[in-house]
Amino acid sequence: MDANALKIELIQKIIACDEKDLLIKIEGLLKNVKPEASEPKESYEVEGRNSQLSNEQLEEIERRWKAYKSGEEKAIPWEDARKEIEREYGF
C-alpha cells in the first residue's frame, strides 16, 4: 500500500472512530506533524466548525445517526439504492 492510500485509510478510520481516548492518543502521535501542503505553492485551508445547515437539520442528522448506530434504522448499500433508483425511474 502506498503512502497516500494509507493516509486515506487512516482518515476513514479516524472519522469512523467514536472513542475520544483513542482520538486523543492519535492527536498526541501527530502533534509534531504540520498540516502543510506537499506540493509547492499549494496550501491547505481548514474550514471552521460553522455549518451551513440549520440547527434543525443538524439535530435530524444526529437523530438519524443515533438511530442507525442503535439498530433502530437500517441502511442499504449504495449499489442497492442505485439499482432501485434505476429500476424505479429508469436512470
Q: What does the pLDDT read at residue 67?
A: 92
Q: What does each C-alpha distance from 54 to 13, 35, 47, 64, 68 come to in angstroms? A: 27, 29, 17, 15, 21
pLDDT tens-place string over residues 44-53: 565 556 778 8
CA–CA dist 59, 64 (Å, integer): 9
pLDDT digits (tens, 9 = 90+) for 27-74: 999 888 877 766 666 665 655 567 788 889 999 999 999 999 899 988
Is the predicted pLDDT of residue 4 greater than 90, yes or no? no
- 20: nearest Cα among 32, 28, 8, 12: 28
Model confidence at 81, pLDDT cuts 50, 70, 90, reads very high
pTM metric for this prediction: 0.40
Q: Residue 88 phi/psi, 5° resolution? A: -75, -40
